[in-house]
């Protein structure tokens, strides 16, 4: 089976890896550099920011992925020599408005989320600011160094003889034979395949408009800033008022992020910089005199309720989706890609695929709508 993967972020790269491991011939292409969009720009927390606020569909994928990430990092390091740095620091949520709902969710889902005294938080996280009164803690939460993750996945795919990678190769349309999609058109020529998977992140909805398909995936801009501190400056991730601080092993501290509907504009703005710096100082006052060493924006693939589209497109044989992960692409990637591979290869799926099925969740032209 020859599979064409459109989109080379974490979702496309990991999907390609799993399908190639199963023996498929995989061609992966991206309009830019592999891993260069939201998979590079995100923070890499291996948890939804507020997991209790999501539907069971998101929770199921998140739990499976969280348990799988350490093994994935070990595999990629052994194969490529590139460490994705899955860094278990735990996460503190501060002054939540829905603390009771969070604790009830933790009991229901069997997750280790507990209320902790704010004094104990200050002892565990000495640079934390003084203006907080309540905290919840989940000790096992990790973050992944997302640029290194995509770099490791790219290197792993380059070593597989049944995988071909094409960067700077934008799709201009699909090759269609009746009710079947059998490839894509690019500036470098047509590429044919038995199945085409759209994993193009924020660009997925726009890409499918050429087929008359209304896929509710749209770009949602997020800006972040980066500081460089001592390696032991921040021992845990902290989150308050929708903003978070993420420590990397080498002392870099990420502060994010904004939530903006600005189309495909990825321009960093001075307003966002000022807002993020204010949040950074509120969380960690010692950053007031620290230099911002990075400021960037990425485009999340916004979708209804943040539930991704995973599965075949009804009425167009050969066309599949793995997109629309919104703010949780890196969190949900291992499970989403495993589910896609299970469905494409006819295996028992790791979770119930129904909540993610494109059927009934996308608008098709009348001639394609299933009876």
Contact 365/212 with Cβ under 8 angstroms? yes
CA-based R_g, the chain, Å: 21
324-362 confidence digits (pLDDT tens): 999 999 999 999 999 999 999 999 999 999 999 999 899
Are residues 34 and 10 both part of a single domain?
yes
Contact 221/262 with Cβ under 8 angstroms? yes
Contact 6/27 with Cβ under 8 angstroms? no
Is 115 among the domain residues?
A: yes
- Give the domain-ending residue among 283, 302, 321: 302
- Shortest CA distance to 187 belongs to which of 165, 214, 167, 160? 167
Is 274 among the domain residues?
A: yes
| Domain region containing 181 | 2-47+148-217+304-356
Structural domain count of the chain = 2
Are residues 127 and 101 both part of a single domain?
yes
What pTM value is reported for the model? 0.96
Are residues 162 and 278 both part of a single domain?
no
Contact 306/54 with Cβ under 8 angstroms? yes
Are residues 126 and 167 both part of a single domain?
no
CATH code where residue 287 lies: 3.30.9.10
**H or E segment and range at residue 26:** strand 25-29
Is 180 among the domain residues?
A: yes
Residue 366, pLDDT score: 67
Mean pLDDT taken over the chain: 96
pLDDT along the chain (371 residues), means of 10: 98 98 98 97 96 97 95 97 97 98 97 97 98 97 97 98 98 96 96 98 97 96 97 97 97 97 97 98 97 97 97 97 98 98 98 96 70 37
Are residues 288 and 226 both part of a single domain?
yes
Are residues 153 and 294 both part of a single domain?
no
Are residues 134 and 225 both part of a single domain?
yes
Is 362 among the domain residues?
A: no
């Amino acid at each position: 089976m020859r599979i064409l993967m459109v989109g080379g972020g974490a979702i496309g790269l990991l999907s390609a890896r799993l399908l190639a491991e199963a023996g498929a011939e995989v061609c992966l292409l991206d309009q830019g550099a592999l891993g260069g969009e939201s998979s590079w720009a995100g923070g890499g927390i291996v948890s939804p920011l507020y997991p209790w606020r999501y539907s069971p569909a998101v929770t199921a994928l998140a739990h499976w992925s969280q348990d799988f990430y350490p093994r994935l990092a070990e595999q990629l390091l052994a194969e490529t020599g590139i460490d994705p740095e899955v860094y278990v620091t735990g996460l503190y949520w501060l002054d939540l408005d829905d603390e009771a709902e969070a604790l009830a969710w933790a009991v229901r889902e069997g997750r280790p989320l507990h209320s902790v005294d704010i004094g104990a938080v200050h002892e565990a996280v000495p640079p934390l600011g003084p203006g907080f009164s309540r905290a919840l803690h989940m000790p096992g939460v990790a973050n992944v160094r997302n640029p290194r993750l995509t770099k490791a996945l790219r290197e792993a795919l380059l070593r597989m003889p049944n995988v071909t990678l094409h960067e700077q190769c934008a799709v201009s349309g699909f090759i269609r034979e009746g009710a079947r999609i059998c490839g894509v058109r690019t500036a470098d020529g047509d590429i044919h395949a038995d199945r085409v998977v759209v994993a193009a992140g924020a660009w997925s909805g726009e890409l499918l408009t050429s087929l008359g398909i209304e896929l509710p995936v749209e770009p949602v801009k997020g800006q972040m800033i980066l500081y460089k501190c001592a390696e032991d400056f921040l021992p845990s991730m902290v989150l308050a008022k929708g903003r978070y601080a993420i420590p990397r092993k080498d002392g870099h501290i990420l502060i994010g992020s904004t939530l903006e509907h600005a189309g495909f504009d990825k321009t960093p703005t001075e307003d966002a910089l000022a807002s993020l710096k204010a949040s950074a100082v509120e969380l960690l006052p010692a950053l007031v005199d620290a230099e911002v060493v990075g400021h960037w924006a990425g485009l999340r693939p916004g979708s209804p309720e943040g539930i991704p589209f995973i599965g075949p497109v009804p009425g167009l044989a050969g066309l599949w989706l793995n997109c629309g992960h919104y703010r949780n692409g890196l969190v949900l990637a291992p499970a989403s890609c495993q589910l896609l591979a299970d469905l494409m290869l006819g295996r028992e799926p790791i979770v119930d695929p129904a909540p993610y099925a494109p059927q009934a969740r996308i608008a098709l032209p009348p001639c394609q709508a299933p009876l």
